[in-house]
Chain A
Amino acid sequence: MSEAIAASGAPALLRVENLSVRFRTDRGMVRAVDGVSLHVHAGETLAIVGESGSGKSVTALSLLRLIGDNGEIEQGRILFDGVDLGRLSGAEMRKVRGNRIAMIFQEPMSSLNPVLTIGKQVAEPLVLHQGLSWQAARKRAVELLARVSIPDPVDRLDSYPHHFSGGMRQRVMIAMALACDPKLIIADEPTTALDVTVQAQILALLKALTRETGAAQILITHDLGVVARYADRVAVMYGGRVIESASARELYANPKHPYTQGLMASVPSLDSDPGRPLQTIPGQPPDLANLPPGCAFAPRCAYARDLCRQGKPPLESIGPQHERACYGYE
């Protein structure tokens, strides 16, 4: 799918260029995102994978300017549907948020108001953003809840979030995301807190909805199985940088960054050889407040040379739709 979209030459729906984000913390300045470039086409699912602390969520949040008071976008351009989001005023940005770009988080409870009914929460944005009457908005809310397969949607309008299971809350979040027909859905570990059968339901639902509406999806996850099942393309992050990106098939068949190779080899899979020692990546993930001067992976990399400890390798094309940030070991 991604090949077809890229080959059509259509401009990307979202293009992020050289984005850097830093935070003021009591341990000093922390650069959580360091020169990230990405793009997503309409109808495509881009997965961002990486271990915890690699900068996945901050990347997503900074697209929507949601990084909080101690954070700062140092540089970079975010082009969405032809508009440079960096030039938008706060009010204009609020219109993009939840309207053209919707975000779904790991813990839906933190995005839902516990003292308001589900019906009110799904209907309210329709009244505020789309000018619907409350009556029309409630009717639309029922349609949306049905669309995300919530049983008895009419009855559920008057329920409160705590009456719902984790999976059902996540469906509500998706219904709210869909309410405004977004062009891009960003789902940040949407199923990490859910059981595997519910995860399968939610991710299949998201995939089906993006397929129906032609919206693009950025799916943030640390699960390489989820990536393999649902993503068209993948960006792998490490230490705040994208270190490799390719179509999902290409990345799994042909990982080219030593970190990606190590990651692929270290997950047991339902089709791998059980009982044998797993391959491991020696050492620990980097501390962003204390990054080495060169490639963040160099201290754990079997191929690291002096060059790798001095400069940060840029993300460069190494094949059709395949990019890697590595000085090379071949």
Chain B
Amino acid sequence: MSESAVAQAATAAADPAAGDPLLQVDDLKVHFPVTEGLLKRQVGTIKAVDGVSFKLARGETFSLVGESGCGKSTTALAVLRMQTVTAGRILFEGVDVTHHSAARMRPIRRRMQMVYQDPFGSLNPRMKVSAIIGEPLVIHGLAGDREAHRARIRELMALVGLLPDMADRYPHEFSGGQRQRIGIARSLALDPSLLVCDEPVSALDVSIQAQVVNLMMDLQRRLGLTYLFIAHDLSVVRHISNRVAVMYLGRIVEIADRDVLFNAPKHPYTEALLAAVPVANPEIEANRAQQIIKGEVPSVRNPPSGCHFHPRCVHAMPRCRVESPALRPRDDGRLIACHLYD
């Protein structure tokens, strides 16, 4: 079997809603050249995303987790076609959009929207809240007459819990949590089916984070949204996700249902990652074996041979140094890329 055929077999087995996924990503690669000097001579390649495959069922929350630099944001941007794809396929609502031109992407982009980490950075400071929320409608020529446009903005604001009298204010007048509500309202303006959420609550204080997490879960139920969710806070990921993919240096090492993954992580990296997260309960912490993983994530410019994780892995075997493990389905429905389980 070719590598991509293996990847495809793997995604098929992990498909929670066989048949009709909203999004399907097959063997996605996003590579960046490393250049040097004035002539921009290429001296290497950053394989930011290196053969990633997954599917999103309609209405689910699928999360990407892993330490910074492992390729989460690049994957998200590639899915939205905001990042050039080096290889692989992206199917959205059954259509292969991998090589769509900007013009052909336009109607599709309405159906897939992004929610950013820093709501302030992504909002134009000189625009009123109503203009920010309504802008996507204007850009796509869907604003309609003035009254209809204003009614839609009011509706969107109500949807995310903003009061009508906030429409004429500017972003700086709002707290972080409210700005994230503005960002979410804007991303909902075009009635998308997929929201790609890159660290949407990471910049918020915990009490505010809870409000936004609840809002997102509530909107998902009410609007039937599908989320591709990225966060480094694994407690939030566990709370909000149906399924979770763990990434390490551009590759997925494990995909499983939320409970399967958090209750019994199998890939040695998933295990190490979960062990590193402290639980907000001193009794549990006092009785937890504190096996702390050694070393740091190596440079993506020069990743280790074979399984990228082998230099830090307590179970590494000679084979791991030379052979990169494929992401393969296991009996319990999860996918693991690890020679221990072959």
Contacts and interface: CB of A to CB of B under 8 A. Distances in A.
Are A and B co-members of a single complex?
Answer: yes
Nearest to A199: B276
B201 to A, nearest CB: 10
Interface in A85-111: none
Given A224-B280, A249-B283, A269 B235 contact: yes
Nearest to A203: B278
A297 to B, nearest CB: 11
B119 interface: no
Contacts of B273: 196-197
B213 interface: yes
A51 B206 contact: yes
A153 B217 CA distance: 49
Interface residues of B, number: 46
A196 B235 contact: no
A252 B68 CA distance: 30
B276 A269 contact: no
B232 A267 contact: no
Nearest to B70: A195
A268 B279 contact: no
Interface residues of A, number: 45
Interface in A256-305: 262-264, 266-272, 274-275, 277-281, 284-285
A204 B281 CA distance: 17
B292 interface: yes
A196 B281 CA distance: 17
Interface string B268-287: 00001111111111111100
Interface of A: 51-52, 165, 167-168, 195-201, 204, 222-230, 248-249, 252-253, 262-264, 266-272, 274-275, 277-281, 284-285
What 3 A-B pairs come out closest when comparing CB atoms? A225-B278, A268-B239, A229-B278
Interface of B: 67-68, 175, 177-178, 205-211, 213-214, 217-218, 232, 234-236, 238-240, 258-259, 262, 272-285, 290, 292-294, 296-297
Given A197-B293, A266-B207, A278-B239, 5 more contacts: A197-B67, A200-B292, A253-B283, A268-B238, A270-B279
26 contacts: A167-B296, A195-B67, A196-B232, A196-B277, A197-B273, A200-B290, A200-B292, A201-B293, A201-B294, A204-B292, A225-B235, A253-B283, A266-B206, A268-B238, A268-B239, A269-B280, A270-B234, A270-B238, A270-B279, A274-B258, A274-B259, A275-B217, A277-B218, A280-B207, A281-B207, A285-B207
